[in-house]
Homo-oligomer: A and B are copies of this chain.
Amino acid sequence: MATGRTHRPATRSRGIPEATVARLPLYLRALTALSERSVPTVSSEELAAAAGVNSAKLRKDFSYLGSYGTRGVGYDVEYLVYQISRELGLTQDWPVVIVGIGNLGAALANYGGFASRGFRVAALIDADPAMAGKPVAGIPVQHTDDLEKIIDDNGVSIGVIATPAGAAQQVCDRLVAAGVTSILNFAPTVLSVPDGVDVRKVDLSIELQILAFHEQRKAGEEVTGESGAVVRAPKDSGKGPDGDVPAVMPA
């Protein structure tokens, strides 16, 4: 793989850091709430608090979009809602298909926030013939056989995979071949896609494991006090036959 030249000099506005992009929806949500309360302007401090970030970060983030604030005053809520919406591409309609209408797929189809900002569930697809025609969230489920046609007919570029892990890669391949270039993957598996296709994954199990890591560490600290020796820590509870139990042997 060619490392190649890195990014373009970022002439202007193009080159918003990924971390910033990931926070824009957060700001947008907070701003929308303010808008509904008819609040005309917010300071970076207030908005940052509502979005759960610090104000310096927020101002830096907004600086990548342009100078949309007024010094000494703050940001115009409506204007910022519009600017961020536009930046995120939410001023247009995004038809989405959900593939795999099990418990999770059905829950996603029913999820309200889905339909809100420009995202429209264009179709539900499942491999089970018994599901075909049955409405879920008011939308009839269609069979996987017609996947390509459905994608094409609806001009879908975003697909959601909520199938079992074993089927995910195959579904992914078909979605991509049919023209989908962004995938939200709920299946607990690594998808491989060609360049130019974005995949984001949501994995419940991984999130829980990360929490467990920190939880375990808390339990350790709680008991340990000041000494380094962990007592009653739930870590090595007479585990395997191997003798070297020490948590980690320093190199």
Least CB separation from A189: chain B residue: B29
Partner of A188, one of B29, B181, B202, B207: B29
- B interface footprint on A188-221 (CB within 8 Å = 1, 0 otherwise): 1010101110101011111111111111111001
- Assess whether B238 is in contact with A117, with CB atoms less than 8 Å apart: no
A126-B66 Cα distance, complex, nearest whole Å: 44
Asked if A86 is at the interface (CB within 8 A of a chain B CB), the reply is yes
Copies of this polypeptide in the complex: 2
A214 to B21, CA, bound (A): 9
Contact A51 B190 (CB under 8 A): yes
Indicate whether A92 sits within 8 Å of B251 (C-beta atoms), given known contacts A106-B107, A114-B208, A211-B182. Answer: no
- Classify chain A: how many residues form its interface, as a range: 35 or more
Complex partner residue of A207 from B51, B110, B184, CB under 8 angstroms:
B184
User: Is A104 positioned at the interface, with any CB of B under 8 Å from its CB?
Assistant: yes
Within the complex, which residue of B110, B118, B236 is in contact with A4, where a contact is CB–CB below 8 Å?
A: B236
Interface segment, A8-16, A37-45, A127-135, A146-154? A8-16
Contacts of A3 in B (CB 8 A): 214, 217-218, 221, 236
Pick from B14, B218, B238: contact of A247, CB under 8 Å:
B14
B238 touches A2 (CB 8 A): yes
Other than A11-B250, A103-B106, A111-B204, give 19 A-B pairs with Cβ distance below 8 A.
A3-B218, A8-B244, A11-B243, A21-B214, A26-B206, A65-B248, A67-B251, A79-B251, A90-B209, A103-B107, A103-B111, A113-B188, A116-B205, A158-B208, A182-B211, A184-B204, A184-B207, A194-B230, A195-B235
Using a CB–CB distance below 8 Å, which chain A residues touch chain B? 1-9, 11-14, 21-22, 24-26, 28-30, 50-52, 63, 65-67, 79, 82-83, 86-92, 94, 96, 102-104, 106-108, 110-111, 113-114, 116-119, 157-158, 181-184, 188, 190, 192, 194-196, 198, 200, 202-218, 221, 228, 230-241, 243-244, 247-251
Can you list 22 A-B contacts (CB < 8 A)? A3-B236, A8-B228, A8-B244, A11-B250, A13-B247, A13-B248, A21-B214, A24-B213, A25-B203, A50-B190, A67-B251, A82-B251, A83-B251, A86-B236, A94-B215, A103-B107, A104-B111, A119-B212, A181-B218, A182-B214, A196-B233, A198-B234
